Structure 1
Amino acid sequence: MIFDFTAVRENLFPASRGAIEDWEGFPWHRDRTNRIQAYKAHSSQAIAIDVFGALKMSKDRDRIFDAIAERVGVAPGGPWTVTLEWTDTDRLLGESRPTQVDAFAVGSAAALVIECKFTEPGGQCSQTAVSRSGERQCNGNYEDQINPGNGVRSRCALTGKDIRYWEYVLKIFELDPDVDYTPCPFKGDAYQWMRNAVLAAAIGEHRSLQTVALAAFADHPSFPTARKVKRGLMDPGLAGRGAIMPISYQQIVAIACQVGRDRALWNSLAAWIDHKIARAASRK
């Protein structure tokens, strides 16, 4: 079945549409009925494409990503490449289903692992969810326990599946993997931010680049991620809080307006993003 992309195209900033080379093959976010969701005004994937697709296609790309890199504390230096919906095909973390991030930008000295949020919060760990058998693979604490699903004893059900998150957690957050934590320090949506932070660290180690995980978000008081940013994406008791750097879409576009040569383009994108945010906020 060929999907009609008319509504999706209309929901994307015109200068970003060229970033989608294969409309049928692109990894679109879908609902339970397999319907593509990027036609919706509040689509997180669509607003990510608006911004990072426009940056990818722009002649100002290197100038803007250099400025973003300096803003978030990594080395500038192009040429920058941008991949939308990037997947860790090297499986650096040992995941059976490798992490996919909304955008991945790589320069000559640094890489940005970018997770994008609009009106939704971050994702939570699936191991504490009730399975079809009615059991949870993890009790919600980081402590010695047996996963009833596979009979493996470990402090983290994911570690018991040879997933390497805690190898990097030790380095980034200065947590001791041999100490119990009640509850798990990455409960709730802190889990997604941790996962992106450890992926960035693994990429940096593998590619010998400075790396940082970015939380790109729509800044409006009615959106959960924007509210969370004000309080801190991670528990303030954790070290390594700079492992996740929040940056709003408005800040990114303001940087583009400041350093980009095509002022008309970036002013137009700013208006587009402001309109989308206002429209999504009115639904709350």
Structure 2
Amino acid sequence: MISDFEAVRRNLFPASHGAIEDWNAFPWHRDRANRIQAHKAHSSQAIAIDIFGTLKMSADRDRILDTIAESVGLPQGGPWSITLEWKDTDRLLAEPRPTQVDVLAVGARAALVIECKFTEPGGKCGQTAASASGQRQCSGSYVDQINPVSGVRARCTLAGKGIRYWQYIPQIFALDPDVDQSPCPFAGDAYQWMRNAVLAAAIGKHRNLQCSALGAFADHPSFPTARKAKLGLIGLSGQAAITPISYQRIIEMARHVGLDQDLWSRLSVWVDQKIAGAASRSFGKFRGTGAGSSCSGITTENKI
């Protein structure tokens, strides 16, 4: 019987292995029983490591990240660094549990906050969920309300707890913080994307860099997640607050500007096989063949 880490290694593109310095300490996505999920073929964390772990270890890293940055309107300029599962230890948003970003890429003049998806849905705001006592801290609308748990009055329950999302939301999404929104535009799947957009703005301000949030996804017509990612979140002046970019497009850029053509060709085959396998399971589930869930890990919620 193979070990958990051996199963994970087999599910990761070999050139990405060196990006994980300490396999025991790495913040693996886990299920509710604390079991690592990255051994699963449809793991979003695994495919993120496939792409960005390989990019981190590659001599082509700077030229490829320059190309990605230019494609989203950011200035080029290395050297670039990549951190997998980066956590906001500076607490820029004053979150009790800091947002953990799948990938943070930082260059000399710009930074990229990258949320990576495969087949799983986006995380929703946990404030609207009923607690064990049946109470909901938020009605699901951005309106003047009293949190029944804390007794604090605020339009946003999270703002009432001192969390700074709404310090950045107005400038990103052109929403007036003094105007009601019913329902709240970030109560559903848009919540996780919004967190990345406001974090990108906070990082840019804190580090004096131009910073953008990207939604990396597996592009396949059978994935609802891909369709949602392509829609993105529309921010100020109709510009995308989250720029969608497919894994296939990233590899295409790597093959266009990278020097190690064999590496990117092999990664392309690896990722295409993963996507085809996940699509096959999704189709089987849709047809009721018992293929099982295509979701990996635990939905990201802010249960504050």
Question: 2:46 — aligned with what?
Answer: 46
Counterpart contact for 1:213–1:245, Cα < 8 Å: yes
Query: % of aligned pairs identical?
Result: 72
Query: Aligned partners of 1:108 and 1:147: how far apart in 2?
Result: 43
Counterpart contact for 2:48–2:102, Cα < 8 Å: yes
| Counterpart among 254, 257, 261 of residue 256 in structure 1 | 254
The secondary structure found in structure 1 opposite 2:212 is: strand
Tell me by how many angstroms 1:237 deviates. Answer: 8.6
Instruction: Please give the residue correspondences for 1:102-141 in structure 2 after superposition, counting only pairs within 5 Å.
Output: 102-141=102-141
Q: 1:58 to 1:274 in 2, by over 3 A?
A: same
1:278 aligns with 2:276: yes
Instruction: Please give the residue correspondences for 1:230-269 in structure 2 after superposition, counting only pairs within 5 Å.
Output: 230=230, 232-234=231-233, 239=237, 241-269=239-267
Deviation per CA, 1:212-268: give whole Å up to 9, x if none.
0000000011212211134x123x597554221000000000000000000000000
Tell me by how many angstroms 1:174 deviates. Answer: 1.1
Instruction: Please give the residue correspondences for 1:1-284 in structure 2 after superposition, counting only pairs within 5 Å.
Output: 4-230=4-230, 232-234=231-233, 239=237, 241-284=239-282
Gaps of 5+ in 1: none
Counterpart contact for 1:172–1:240, Cα < 8 Å: no
Quick one: which amino acid aligns to residue 8 of structure 2?
V
Query: Aligned partners of 1:239 and 1:115: how far apart in 2?
Result: 23
Query: Aligned partners of 1:129 and 1:238: how far apart in 2?
Result: 29
User: What's the TM-score once normalised by structure 2's chain length?
Assistant: 0.90
The secondary structure found in structure 1 opposite 2:178 is: coil
Counterpart contact for 1:174–1:240, Cα < 8 Å: no
Query: Aligned partners of 2:79 and 2:120: how far apart in 1?
Result: 32
Q: 1:241 to 1:126 in 2, by over 3 A?
A: farther
User: What's the TM-score once normalised by structure 1's chain length?
Assistant: 0.96
Quick one: which amino acid aligns to residue 248 of structure 1?
S
Query: Aligned partners of 1:209 and 1:271: how far apart in 2?
Result: 35
Quick one: which amino acid aligns to residue 261 of structure 1?
L
The secondary structure found in structure 1 opposite 2:157 is: coil
Query: Aligned partners of 2:108 and 2:236: how far apart in 1?
Result: 30
Deviation per CA, 1:124-158: give whole Å up to 9, x if none.
10001111110111001000000011000000000
Quick one: which amino acid aligns to residue 132 of structure 1?
A
Divergent runs of 4+, >6 A: none
Query: Aligned partners of 1:63 and 1:238: how far apart in 2?
Result: 30
More relative contact order, 1 or 2 (CA 8 Å, 6+ apart): 2
Moved more, 127-136 or 49-58: 127-136
Tell me by how many angstroms 1:73 deviates. Answer: 1.0
Gaps of 5+ in 2: 283-304
Deviation per CA, 1:94-113: give whole Å up to 9, x if none.
00000001000000000000
Query: Aligned partners of 2:232 and 2:62: how far apart in 1?
Result: 28
Quick one: which amino acid aligns to residue 48 of structure 2?
A
Query: Aligned partners of 1:240 and 1:86: how far apart in 2?
Result: 29
Q: 1:225 to 1:209 in 2, by over 3 A?
A: same
Query: Aligned partners of 1:4 and 1:271: how far apart in 2?
Result: 25
Deviation per CA, 1:165-215: give whole Å up to 9, x if none.
000001111111011011111131111111100000000000000000000
Query: Aligned partners of 1:131 and 1:145: how far apart in 2?
Result: 18
Counterpart contact for 2:174–2:235, Cα < 8 Å: no
Query: Aligned partners of 2:218 and 2:121: how far apart in 1?
Result: 11
The secondary structure found in structure 2 opposite 1:211 is: strand
Query: Aligned partners of 1:149 and 1:216: how far apart in 2?
Result: 36
Quick one: which amino acid aligns to residue 8 of structure 1?
V
